[in-house]
């Protein structure tokens, strides 16, 4: 699929299918990142804390939230970064999350406006109760048509 900067429309959106967060997800993420904080790993200690149970890593939820929307490869767009990342509510083992993305801004690339544009996609990740758990802006560098 090739979608050039000119092809993006403000307000267009897409929604992922659901993905249930498992204990294996948390353990694997801890091993990959080295983040073994007790908030994620120590079930007994977590029983004494505010949430009463282990919490998934925010970076895990960010990764899963982005990955859930990565169904098609656009050969003309590249991830340029993430802005305004906010971990709004905790995600627990057994929660199912869904990502929704909406194109909210298009602008010229500051240094190469003849070749590239920037597209901002507002991403909201919700749990099975419809509560927002994560919000961020995914910024894309997108080729212009020639």
**pTM (predicted TM-score):** 0.93
Ranges of the chain with pLDDT below 50: none
DSSP letter at 5 equals: G
Domains along the sequence of the chain with CATH? 5-143 (3.10.129.10)
**Are the CB atoms for 46 and 90 separated by under 8 Å?**
no
Residue 30 is predicted with a pLDDT of 98
Pairwise CA distance, residues 140 & 146, whole Å: 18
Q: pLDDT tens across 22-45, in order?
A: 999 999 999 999 999 999 999 999
CA angle 137, 87, 22 (to 5 degrees): 110
Query: Tokens in use for 48?
Result: 């004494």
Pairwise CA distance, residues 92 & 54, whole Å: 6
């Amino acid at each position: 699929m090739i979608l050039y900067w000119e092809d993006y429309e403000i307000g267009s959106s897409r929604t992922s299918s659901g993905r249930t967060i498992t204990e294996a997800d948390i353990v694997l993420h801890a091993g990959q990142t080295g983040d073994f904080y007790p908030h994620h790993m120590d079930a007994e200690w977590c029983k004494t804390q505010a949430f009463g149970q282990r919490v998934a890593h925010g970076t895990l939820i960010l990764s899963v939230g982005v990955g859930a929307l990565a169904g098609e490869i656009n050969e003309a767009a590249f991830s340029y970064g993430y802005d305004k990342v906010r971990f709004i509510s905790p995600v627990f083992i057994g929660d199912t999350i869904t990502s929704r993305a909406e194109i909210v801004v298009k602008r010229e690339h500051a240094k190469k406006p003849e070749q590239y544009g920037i597209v901002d996609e507002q991403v909201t990740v919700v749990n099975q109760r419809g509560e927002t758990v994560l919000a961020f802006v995914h910024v894309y560098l997108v080729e212009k048509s020639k």
